[in-house]
Amino acid sequence: MKNLYIVALFQFKENDLMDALELLKKLVFETRKEEGCLQYDLIEDHTNKGVFFIMELWESDEHHHQHNGSDHLMNFRNQSASMLEKSAQVYKGYKTF
C-alpha cells in the first residue's frame, strides 16, 4: 500500500479572507483527527494574497476516500464555495523517489 500525497490549492476573494481562514483552520483541525491522516498542513502563499494550499499525506487511497465523504470536508466545501475566486486545484500522486 502506497502513501498518497496531495496538494490542494485555494484562491479566496480578498473580502472573504478572514472567514476563509477560519473555515480552513477548522477543516485542518478536524481532518488531523482522521484515521490514516499522516499530514495535513495549511500554508499561506507569502507573495499572492488570498492563496492558500494544503499539503496532505494519507496512509492510503482508501483513507483519503473516507476523508472525501467526511462531514467537515462537505461543510467546508459548502461554506467556502462563494468565497473562492475560482475552483480549487487538487494534485494527487505517489512518491517516485
Per-residue confidence of the chain (97 residues) as pLDDT tens digits?
Answer: 799 999 999 999 999 999 999 999 999 999 999 999 999 999 999 999 999 999 999 999 999 999 999 999 999 999 999 999 999 999 999 999 9
pLDDT at 1: 79
Distance CA(67)–CA(72), nearest Å, equals 9
What local confidence, expressed as pLDDT, does residue 24 receive? 98
**Which amino acid, 74?**
M
> 0.75 exceeded by the pTM?
yes
Task: Give me the number of domains the chain comprises.
Answer: 1
Q: Which of 61, 36, 53 is nearest to 88 (CA)?
A: 53
Domain carrying residue 73? 4-94
CATH number at residue 17: 3.30.70.100
DSSP H helices, 1-97, are: 17-31, 61-68, 71-80
Going by their DSSP bridges, the two strands 37-44 and 51-58 should be labelled as antiparallel
> Which pLDDT does position 80 carry in this prediction?
97
